[in-house]
A and B are shown apart, each in its own frame.
Chain A
Amino acid sequence: DTGVSQDPRHKITKRGQNVTFRCDPISEHNRLYWYRQTLGQGPEFLTYFQNEAQLEKSRLLSDRFSAERPKGSFSTLEIQRTEQGDSAMYLCASSPAFVANYGYTFGSGTRLTVV
């Protein structure tokens, strides 16, 4: 297994455009998480899935953000009508649901710059 993969690594977009990021978790992990990290801060929770079910969403996830995991494998995070404040590193992580205190395996992230 190659770990958690995120695509693209970098994305530069103009304000108002829509962007979509993809995350491929470790295949046997049924939990998938999205976090956002801004410069000088720790990762902030956005949402997580168990299989295809979205179990929790943060208040940080405004109406412009949507995440899906349609078949319980890869996930996408879409941001509509991007704003400069959306510029951040978007991190994906995965874990098995039933191995207590596993922690996460993180991907390398997608860095979004909104100009």
Chain B
Amino acid sequence: GNSVTQMEGPVTLSEEAFLTINCTYTATGYPSLFWYVQYPGEGLQLLLKATKADDKGSNKGFEATYRKETTSFHLEKGSVQVSDSAVYFCALSASPRNEKLTFGTGTRLTIIP
């Protein structure tokens, strides 16, 4: 079956540090890949997505590249801010038809000033 494995948290960084959150997946075929973010007290929000190999998704300074050869979709940001403190979820969809998403366990990120 499909699965997503995320880097164990929690992750604590200082403001302006470089961020990487690792995500690898197992899926048949050509899944679409997503990063969602959950800020304290809020619902999950789509952060970025990539739908085919070598695509790069980007939003709010975050980036992730779909690497089929390593089955990875690592999330990166060059300089984090306190407002980036949240839980980040990697997810995949086995088809582009907006059927079910399979999520990783989430990585809690805390940025200290």
- The residue of chain A having its C-beta at the shortest distance from the C-beta of B34 within the complex is A103
- Asked if B43 and A108 sit within 8 Å, CB to CB, the answer is yes
Main secondary structure of the interface of B (DSSP, over half): strand
Name which of A12-20, A38-46, A61-69 contacts chain B: A38-46
Determine the chain A residues whose CB is within 8 A of the CB of B36 once the complex forms.
103, 106
Chain A CB within 10 A, most for which of B32, B34, B101: B101
A101 to B96 Cα, complex, angstroms: 5
B44 near A: Cβ within 8 Å? Answer: yes
Chain A CB within 10 A, most for which of B34, B89, B96, B99: B99
A96 near B: Cβ within 8 Å? Answer: yes
Q: What range describes how many residues of A lie at the interface?
A: 20 to 34
- Asked if A101 and B51 sit within 8 Å, CB to CB, the answer is yes
A33 near B: Cβ within 8 Å? Answer: yes
- The residue of chain A having its C-beta at the shortest distance from the C-beta of B32 within the complex is A101
- The residue of chain A having its C-beta at the shortest distance from the C-beta of B100 within the complex is A45
A91 near B: Cβ within 8 Å? Answer: yes
Determine the chain A residues whose CB is within 8 A of the CB of B74 once the complex forms.
none
- Asked if B100 and A103 sit within 8 Å, CB to CB, the answer is no
State which of B41, B44, B96, B97 has its C-beta within 8 Å of the C-beta of A43: B44
A106 to B86 Cα, complex, angstroms: 16
A79 near B: Cβ within 8 Å? Answer: no
B102 near A: Cβ within 8 Å? Answer: yes
- Asked if A106 and B45 sit within 8 Å, CB to CB, the answer is yes
Determine the chain A residues whose CB is within 8 A of the CB of B103 once the complex forms.
42-44
- The residue of chain A having its C-beta at the shortest distance from the C-beta of B52 within the complex is A101
Interface string of B74-112 (1 = CB under 8 A from A): 000000000000000101010011111111111000000
- Asked if B100 and A41 sit within 8 Å, CB to CB, the answer is no
The 17 sampled A-B contact pairs (Cβ below 8 Å) are A41-B106, A42-B91, A42-B105, A43-B103, A45-B100, A45-B101, A55-B99, A56-B99, A97-B98, A100-B97, A100-B98, A103-B34, A103-B101, A104-B46, A104-B98, A106-B43, A108-B42
Q: Which residues of B are at the interface with A, using a C-beta cutoff of 8 A?
A: 4, 6, 32, 34, 36, 41-46, 49, 51, 89, 91, 93, 96-106
